[in-house]
């Protein structure tokens, strides 16, 4: 059995949302416990992760240091966070495996995700990233070509394209490592966004890919059986934020899409997770889950608590199978 675990930002920062190095190491150490259990059971395990707080921190450094060292573009920020997060995940996972007496190797792969240069997101950026700034400071960055939006009382915030991920270009490297028995960390932050050039080569672009949609695509490319999206809530609920919240529980993709169409899942948070789990099972995945870190093992075993969201293929789905 092959599983893909997607860790949310909460798995990599402290509860206050800060991302000090020691917070990140502590959070990742905790997150690697269930991952190590799966690896100890002999499963093929792939880990992917978000990078929102980390990219936010890099952007602040860019802004503050712009007169001293050249600012770097968003694709570089993505690559840098894949490097540092991959590093601490590999360290923590190796340690958790050693404690269990399991001799499996771990590797992190710098992973690029192909997007379309004509994606509408590039003409009309919608994804807010980084910190809020007062209007005058935002104005300076707008003059440098960035798009910033007035987000109300907290100030202005940068918005960037979040294009549709089309292909995880480095999936074959991940597959080769899995075949060699490695536990693999890949496609962090949804993958480094790149576009195809006329000469066939690729180049990075100023964008961020949604981590959950990137996970669904990677899962499909690797023939993953079970995708688990681990986040800071037990699962998706209907009537979120009302006195009548009800867990979605175990549903098929068509039913879940129906709930999404009724507007139950907020854009930018639960919305993309729901879209990702639906896509995954619609393209041949056996099961997908949205749950907490502590729910991962049960979700993989198929015995999750009723608050976890479990998505199964719809009977009427078009069975496309794995690539």
The binding site for ligand ADP (CB under 6 A) comprises 8-10, 50, 231-233, 236-237, 240, 264-266, 269-270
Q: Active site residue: 9, 189, 190, 285, which one?
A: 9
Query: Cβ of residue 12: shortest distance to ligand ADP, in angstroms?
Result: 9
Q: What are phi and psi of 298, to 5 degrees?
A: -65, -35
Q: Of residues 78, 86, 219, 273, which has the active-site annotation?
A: 273
> From the candidates 127, 155, 204, 223, which is the catalytic residue?
127
Enumerate the β-bridge partners of residue 289.
Answer: 228, 310
> Any catalytic annotation for residue 127?
yes
Please give the radius of gyration of the chain, using alpha carbons only, rounded to the nearest integer. 19
Cβ-based nearer residue to ligand ADP, 175 or 238 = 238
Closest residue (Cβ) to ligand ADP?
Answer: 8
CA distance 12 to 88: 10
Residue 242 or 316 having the CB closest to ligand ADP: 242
CA torsion 144-150-155-159 (nearest 10°) is -50
Which residue among 8, 10, 187, 235 is the active-site one?
10
10 catalytically annotated? yes
For 64, the token pair is: 């503050």
**Catalytic choice (52, 130, 211, 219):** 211
Active site residue 139: no
- Nearer to ligand ADP by Cβ, of 262 and 315: the residue is 262
User: Least Å distance between CB 179 and ligand ADP?
Assistant: 29
Q: Which is nearer to ligand ADP, 180 or 266 (CB)?
A: 266
What minimum distance in Å lies between the beta carbon of 212 and ligand ADP? 7
Q: Name the β-bridge partners of 207.
A: 161
CB 175, min distance to ligand ADP, A: 25
Our CB check for ligand ADP shows the closer of 122 and 265 to be: 265
User: Which of 206, 192, 188 is closest to 114 using CA atoms?
Assistant: 192
CB of 71 to ligand ADP, least distance (A): 25
Show contacts of 82-88: CB within 8 Å, 24+ apart: 82/51, 82/108, 82/110, 82/111, 82/188, 82/189, 82/192, 83/108, 83/110, 84/54, 85/12, 85/24, 85/28, 85/49, 85/51, 85/54, 85/185, 85/188, 86/110, 86/185, 86/188, 88/24, 88/25, 88/28
Instruction: Tell me the catalytic residues.
Output: 9-10, 127, 211, 273
């Amino acid at each position: 059995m092959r599983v893909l675990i997607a860790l949310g930002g909460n798995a990599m920062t402290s509860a206050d949302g800060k991302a000090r190095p020691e917070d990140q190491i502590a959070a990742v150490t905790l997150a690697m416990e269930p991952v190590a259990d799966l690896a100890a059971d002999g499963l093929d395990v792939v880990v992917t992760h978000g990078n929102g707080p980390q990219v936010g921190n890099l952007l602040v450094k860019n802004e503050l240091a712009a007169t001293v060292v050249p600012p770097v573009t968003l694709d570089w920020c993505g690559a840098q966070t894949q490097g540092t997060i991959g590093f601490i995940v590999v360290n923590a996972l190796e340690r958790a495996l050693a404690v269990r007496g399991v001799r499996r190797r771990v590797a992190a792969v710098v992973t690029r995700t192909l997007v379309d240069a004509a994606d509408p997101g590039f003409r009309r950026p919608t994804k807010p990233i980084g910190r809020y700034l007062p209007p005058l400071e935002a104005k300076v960055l707008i003059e440098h070509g960035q798009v910033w939006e007035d987000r109300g009382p907290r100030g202005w915030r940068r918005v960037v394209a979040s294009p549709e991920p089309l292909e995880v270009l480095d999936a074959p490297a991940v597959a080769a490592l899995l075949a060699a028995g490695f536990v693999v960390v890949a496609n962090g932050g949804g993958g480094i966004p790149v576009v195809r050039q006329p000469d066939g080569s690729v180049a990075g672009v100023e964008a961020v890919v949604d981590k959950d949609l990137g996970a669904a695509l990677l899962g499909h490319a690797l023939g993953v059986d079970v995708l688990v999206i681990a986040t800071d809530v037990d699962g998706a609920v209907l009537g979120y934020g009302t006195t009548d919240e009800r867990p979605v529980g175990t549903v098929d993709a068509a039913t879940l899409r129906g709930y999404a169409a009724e507007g139950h899942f907020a854009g930018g948070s639960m919305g993309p997770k729901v879209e990702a789990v639906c896509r995954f099972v619609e393209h041949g995945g056996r099961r997908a889950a949205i749950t907490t870190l502590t729910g991962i093992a049960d979700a993989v075993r198929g015995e999750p608590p009723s608050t976890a969201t479990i998505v199964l293929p719809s009977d009427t789905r078009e069975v496309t199978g794995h690539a």
